[in-house]
Amino acid sequence: MPRSDRAAWLVVLAGVVAALQVGKLPPALPALQADLDLSLVQSGFMLSMVQLAGVLLAVFMGLLADGMGLKRSMLCGLVLLALASAAGSLATSPWVLLALRASEGLGFLLVALPAPALIRRLVPAHKLSGMLGVWGAYMPTGTALALLVGPMFIPAWGWPRWWGLFALLAVGMALWLARAVPPDPVCVPALAGNTPSMLRRLSETLSARGPWLVALTFAMYSGQWLAVVGFLPSIYAATGVSGAALGGLTALAAAVNMLGNLASGRLLQRGWAPAQSITLGFAAMALGSTLAFAAFTDGLPWLRYVGVLVFSGVGGLVPGTLFSLAVRLAPGEQHVATTVGWVQQLSALGQFVGPPVVGWVAAQVGGWQLTPVVSLACCVCGVALAWGAGGELKRRA
């Protein structure tokens, strides 16, 4: 394997390490509630704090990453994740842990936002779509690993060592990345005379049509994905599933999303139009949510779980394709991380809005049977936006 390809795979691995930091919390919540007297409200804030950074700051963090250098940004993010996780292992107050969780959100953005642009720099053009499809699987990979390992690790070793383990992983990843990935070009820092100013890059990114179309499409995907996966315990509880089986089923539902992400790169390499892949992904999400929540599958838990797997697995075509579109529709080479930041920001907004909307609809009708209506509305909007993004790509070509 060429050295540049190995470096690109290392960038993906760094993303998985950052995603592990996000996914480490859910399996630790019962222990945190017992040890720190964490309330349900505090638990909810703890879960959402990482996404809050994305909602408020992602585009600006992408702008910062474009200016400081892509590799340098990832290293800073990994170091911040390591420091916050190490400090969190010593926390004795839920409020301290909450503040450190916000710091982890910033570190996560510094790692995740420049990665697609760095992959673009490292791999030849004919391999770019495939590698960006691989990159799209970083989040479900990290989440699934944390959900699988956490329930076994935490009862035996405790949540402070769980936090300490991720601090060591982040440090090791930073050292590996520093050694194996080529340095940033000298002209990248924002002080270089030929680099656009931060405000100019931001204006150029947000005034372009392509980044908006990709970001809004991602919001249509992320909001409903988190809503459906987040309410899985309600489906399982009705079937009497609990304990390790519950964790395994939830982890599998997250893990199959990787397959769709990987397949998206293959389809793009074989000549599929991005809008076609995204349409297939959204169609599967509409079908899957219908099987998972519709009234006619009540009493068929196996069919509902198949629906979840279809929803998450084939739906993974959407983010993998959108990362490729984000790179290709950025206004310029120096705008890629800023564009990905804007995509991440609207994705985080979708994750904030989607679950409450689905929960509100369920509360109004006394059940989950109208959840497919919300999902279908998101899918229709997503398909329309995706075809708009495809048209924009053709115009640019």
Smallest Cα–Cα separation from 123: which of 297, 295, 38, 5?
5
Q: For tokens 């115009």, what's the residue?
A: 395
* CA distance linking residue 367 with residue 293, whole number of Å: 9
Could you tell me the sign of the dihedral formed by the alpha carbons of 77, 78, 79, 82, in that order? positive
Contact between 201 and 338 under an 8 Å Cβ cutoff? The reply is yes
Structure tokens of 186? Answer: 């000298």
Contact between 138 and 319 under an 8 Å Cβ cutoff? The reply is no
Residues in the chain, overall count: 397
Query: What string of pLDDT tens digits covers the 397 residues of the chain?
Result: 677 789 999 999 999 999 999 889 888 888 888 888 877 667 767 776 777 778 888 888 888 887 788 999 999 999 999 999 999 999 888 889 989 988 999 999 999 999 998 999 999 888 888 898 889 889 888 988 887 888 889 888 999 999 999 999 999 999 999 999 999 886 544 444 344 577 888 899 999 999 999 999 999 999 899 888 766 655 565 566 665 676 688 788 888 998 998 899 899 989 999 999 999 999 999 999 999 888 898 888 889 889 999 999 999 999 989 989 999 999 988 888 889 989 989 998 988 888 878 878 887 888 778 989 999 999 999 999 999 999 999 988 7
pLDDT of residue 1: 63
pTM over the 0.85 mark: no
Where does 89-206 have alpha helices with state H? 94-112, 115-122, 125-135, 138-157, 159-180, 198-206
* CA distance linking residue 252 with residue 103, whole number of Å: 29
All domains of the chain, ordered by start, with CATH?
A: 3-396 (1.20.1250.20)
Distance of CA 98 to the CA centre of its chain: 20
User: Counting Cβ atoms within 10 Å, is residue 360 exposed (0-12), middle (13-18) or buried (19+)?
Assistant: exposed
* CA distance linking residue 313 with residue 272, whole number of Å: 18
pLDDT of residue 235: 59
